[in-house]
Amino acid sequence: MNILNKLRRTGVAALAIASLAGVTGTAKAQTVSVPLIESGSSLLYPLFNDWVAAYSADHPGADITTTSTGSGAGIAQAIKGLINIGASDAYVSDSLKAQNPSVLSIPLAISSQAVNYNLPGVKNLNLSGPILAGIYEGKITKWNDPAIAAANPSVTLPGHVIIPIHRLDGSGDTFIFTQYLAASDAGWASTLKYGTSVSWPAISGEIGAKGNSGMLSAAAANPYSVAYIGISYADKVASSGLGTAALLNKAGNYVLPTQDTITAAAESVADSTPADERISMIFTDAPNAYPIVNYEYAVVNSSQPASAIAEAVRAFLSWAITEGNAPSFMTKVHFLPLPATVVALSQAQIAKIQ
């Protein structure tokens, strides 16, 4: 009951909403075992594992299998009906949504991403979307480029060649990173656009790395490199001596990814979130908002094969966005809980699962 105690202490308003909707009651009533399959995002996978362990402990009969396959697979398999819950770092795209109107994108938590650098002797560094776009396009090749120097007037920058590191596997991290570049740099928006894989321009010396752990070890092994790494890896990034860059937001401020700046980004769009909750939190206009923030999604088909399955999915998901958003789950992976207005929207979407 550790979780409940913590919840009571933090006084999460969401719990009240959940009990208003009467979901907690139905969850306890579920005694018949209905097997559910969750699959998708490798970033969400550790959280789902914690969730399922805690959920199964006080919900006898819950039988949920979790697998880590990747966001794209999570979306594709949820659409094909091979799995019940697809985990994804990105919401279902407009064209896929148009083809499959019954597929819901339900936010579960808030994640973000850091831009890390390996620059011996440099402790603080400011970077912006146009600078990063220039680096990854091969237009800015040295650390003492005038554009980087202008953003960092008080820093002595080395005249060394920059080693840009990108993900070689399809990744939600590439999706939100390139979304930031596309939102803040017109050139990037018109040529490379955004996606879980993009056609990285040919730069000699650049590195493609596999997974966030591959990004981390490539950045640590290569001085003068720059990489984008999911916030879940913040502790490991800090202990390997990499720096975290302050990024230029839409309001013109350089901000670091902290709880305040990430929450600021989430709250700036909370009220304008549409009913289907497919919204970008990249490069929002709040003055202290960190520019690379995103919802982690559950991709679920609203018409499930049987009503018992639908009920089990509803019960688990509404537990996940209420009790599952407790700090005991979130701090370990550096995620943040959903704002109360978004929890209400998610509950409305969960109620549609039949």
Partner 1 sequence: MKIRPFRLSVFALSLLIPTALCAVVLFLVIYSGQAIMFNGLHFLTDVNWNLGDMYDDPVTVHGVSVPGGAEYGILVFIVGTLVSSGLAILIAVPLSIGAAIFLSEAVPGKIRPVLSMLVELIAVVPSVVFGLWGIAVLVPFIGHHLSPTGNGYGLLASSIVLALMITPIIASTLLDALLQVPKENRESAFALGATHFEVVSKAMMPMVRATLVGGIVLALGRALGETMAVLMVSGGGINILPTSLFSPISTIASFVAGQLDSAEADPTNMSVRALSEVALVLFLITLAVNASAKLLASGALNVRKRQS
Give which of 305, 339, 309, 310 is closest to 325, Cα–Cα: 339
In the range 155-174, which residues lie near partner 1 by CB under 8 A? 161, 163, 166, 168-171
In the range 103-132, which residues lie near partner 1 by CB under 8 A? none
- Taking the least distance from each CB to partner 1, the nearer of 175 and 329 is 175
For the chain, state the CA radius of gyration. Answer: 21
In the range 235-264, which residues lie near partner 1 by CB under 8 A? none
Distance between CA atoms of residues 353 and 21, nearest Å? 14
Query: Least CB distance from residue 165 to partner 1, whole Å?
Result: 9
The single-letter DSSP state of residue 140 is: -
Stretch that binds partner 1, among 30-38, 72-80, 143-151, 290-298 (CB under 8 A): 72-80
Q: Which one of residues 46, 50, 224, 309 is an interface residue with partner 1 (CB under 8 A)?
A: 224
CA 143 to chain centre: 29
Q: Which one of residues 1, 11, 31, 94 is an interface residue with partner 1 (CB under 8 A)?
A: 94
Three-state SS for 65?
strand
Stretch that binds partner 1, among 58-66, 127-135, 222-230, 332-340 (CB under 8 A): 222-230
Q: Which one of residues 3, 37, 96, 344 is an interface residue with partner 1 (CB under 8 A)?
A: 96
Give which of 57, 31, 34 is closest to 323, Cα–Cα: 57
CA 331 to chain centre: 14
Given a contact cutoff of 8 angstroms between Cβ atoms, the answer to whether 203 and 161 are in contact is: no
Distance between CA atoms of residues 157 and 142, nearest Å? 9
Stretch that binds partner 1, among 143-151, 217-225, 284-292, 301-309 (CB under 8 A): 217-225
Distance between CA atoms of residues 116 and 246, nearest Å? 9
Q: Contact between 205 and partner 1 (CB under 8 A)?
A: yes
Residues 141/230/212/232 CA torsion (nearest 10 deg) = 140
Stretch that binds partner 1, among 20-28, 125-133, 220-228, 282-290 (CB under 8 A): 220-228
Q: Which one of residues 210, 306, 348, 351 is an interface residue with partner 1 (CB under 8 A)?
A: 210
* Buried-exposed string 202-212: b where 16+ CB fall within 10 A, e elsewhere: ebeebbebebb
Residues 303/306/310/313 CA torsion (nearest 10 deg) = -110
Q: Which one of residues 76, 266, 279, 321 is an interface residue with partner 1 (CB under 8 A)?
A: 76
Q: Contact between 70 and partner 1 (CB under 8 A)?
A: yes
Query: Least CB distance from residue 90 to partner 1, whole Å?
Result: 8
Q: Which one of residues 155, 195, 236, 328 is an interface residue with partner 1 (CB under 8 A)?
A: 195
Query: Least CB distance from residue 198 to partner 1, whole Å?
Result: 8
- Give 133's strand partners: none
Stretch that binds partner 1, among 16-24, 53-61, 91-99, 309-317 (CB under 8 A): 91-99
- Give 137's strand partners: none
Secondary structure of 229-278 as H, E, C letters: EEHHHHHHHHHCCCEECEEECCCCCEECCCHHHHHHHHHHHHCCCCCCCC
From residue 11 to residue 50, the character string flagging contacts with partner 1 as x (rule: CB under 8 A) and all else as - is ----------------------------------------
- Taking the least distance from each CB to partner 1, the nearer of 77 and 325 is 77
Q: Which one of residues 24, 69, 144, 341 is an interface residue with partner 1 (CB under 8 A)?
A: 69
Q: Which residues bind partner 1 (CB under 8 A)?
A: 69-73, 75-76, 90, 93-96, 99, 161, 163, 166, 168-171, 193-210, 214, 217-218, 221-224
